[in-house]
Chains A and B, each alone.
Chain A
């Protein structure tokens, strides 16, 4: 079987959530099939500037074909189109203009897909919301498998993505909540799919003491790992933790790991370590009392899975359906929706040792049962083998010139607000994978 992983950015130093997800999947599927990576020359997800050389490259053992991006993203234009389609009535043409302004637009990549479609059995497209995935899925629909990595943001309500979700051959969801959301917005329950997620490389030699000595942290702490960004809920976390530290005596610290694009408050119990190596990250998890995930929007928190793999409970933002659902299903994390809940749950994790121990054990078991690599690889191969035996159907075409310009689409924010919310807890009752009707 020959597979192509099509992703917006790719490289050993590209660490975005979906990009890392794509790299892990490509590297692990390479054990079972011939895998190539098709991507752009961009390294930065904000500007999409061409930073890598176009052409063939090798990352690890994989062949990577890079294609140039036609134009970098203009944040002003993108912001204007976003406002237009998210907040006002608009047309399909407006949505396509939004997609063009978001990027990364690479006509050469799409031409390559069209021309060489027959050389590959399947194309795994990552991140539904980018131009490469939209045009790529349309170009090779009979061989397209989508890994949407969708979050609950207004982009999911854009009407142009409905035909994509309904027209690809298969969908690999990250979580039950993501599946429920996409099926509610696109009505695509008959498309073959599975909820799979992604595994992680957990080192066996992580050492809590090494981390404590290296960074001189002797007190117990909770850790946040990821980009320190407003969109990730970090300001709220800082506020809550400062309140907690001022009201609850103790020595619990908050350790922050990751690049910051906002100001970290100066507080004796908040430590920012910046970007650290993978070894330090896992050492930090081994030393931490718990991982805190304050993000409102996640399609799958890889770092939460890593924390569970390391036997650490997770304290998650309950406003994020996916995180809440994962905490409940795994029985390995608590969640909060306001300061009072944050304080109570954090205090429980800090002081209640039996609870902490039980959550830790459950987390470890949950990771092994659902997110160990053999399980992930098996799920991917099962879906691909099924698809090989099934007939492909035609994707709905784009509407005509006049229809595309009719402003009859409601603001997408309204569409998304109308979607069902909350964790998808009845996952055991439904079929494990759908089948095309």
Chain B
């Protein structure tokens, strides 16, 4: 947030909020709101979640599962089979009850139906509890799907960030090479290189020779001789040390270096310099990669 340019009176809250939202978008890659994430979880499940093996229409199926419709339970008591809304009928039935009991015994029937009624109530209660659990399961499943969606998006964003970091790293390496080229111009293009080659051939030494030469050059020649190549290197180093003292470059200057040729890198006075680029780098075997005389 330190990059707001604030002048009292000229402040524009909407502009600041746009800036803040842009920063948030830049940070997380894509600007998904909570609502959008939920929509993605509901609508684009197939595309997002198939790799993880979650069925895209799982939630839909779960939601549309038909609910159990229960017929209303009955209560069955001793008097139920004799009951009537008409008092006269009840009276007659009561009178004839002994006759009925002569023909068959209604009590086992009443007992059985009464027990069945209790069993029905019990089962209904059990299934009711199961429905509650189902609702809970649905909630958990829904949250899982939303979370998985969110994580998928985050993974995508992280992948993009890794790619971005990779490309920056490549760019930095290219720039380092460009700077090295600035310090040591290509051998074929300079007359000094042409001069140096026969010397090297004449000496016919092995790989240890350049190391000795480097020591010699650093120790004495630079100070004493007026050789053209040394002057050129010193000039380049001076140029680099000058630019080191300058401020941090803008991203635009960096881009110019990255996309331009070595020549353009030379011409850019805003060129950011790394400390390691200012001194001649050594190769892995300890020899300088600077062309030697």
Contact = CB atoms under 8 A, between A and B. Distances in A.
A93 interface: no
A352 B17 contact: no
Nearest to A328: B13
A334 B11 CA distance: 11
Interface residues of B, number: 21
A348 B1 contact: yes
A251 B9 CA distance: 30
Contacts, number: 61
Interface string B1-33: 110101111011110110011011001100001
A338 B34 contact: yes
Interface stretch (A120-128, A137-145, A354-362): A354-362
A361 B8 contact: yes
A230 interface: no
B16 A355 contact: yes
B32 to A, nearest CB: 10
Contacts of A334: 13, 16-17, 20
A338 B33 contact: yes
B2 A352 contact: yes
Contact of B20 (A327, A332, A348): A348
Given A338-B33, A352-B1, A354-B6, A344 B24 contact: yes
B11 A362 contact: yes
Contacts of A328: 13-14
Contacts of A394: none
Contacts of A209: none
Interface residues of A, number: 24
B39 to A, nearest CB: 15
A345 B14 CA distance: 12
Nearest to B27: A340
A351 B21 CA distance: 18
A136 interface: no
B4 A354 contact: yes
Contact of A358 (B6, B21, B28): B6
B14 A352 contact: no
A348 B11 CA distance: 14
Given A334-B16, A348-B4, A358 B9 contact: yes
A344 B4 contact: no
Given A338-B34, A355-B6, A331 B24 contact: no
A84 B11 CA distance: 47
Interface of B: 1-2, 4, 6-9, 11-14, 16-17, 20-21, 23-24, 27-28, 33-34
Closest 8 CB pairs of A and B: A354-B6, A348-B1, A358-B8, A340-B24, A344-B20, A358-B11, A355-B6, A358-B6
Given A348-B4, A358-B7, 7 more contacts: A332-B13, A333-B13, A338-B33, A340-B28, A344-B24, A351-B2, A354-B4
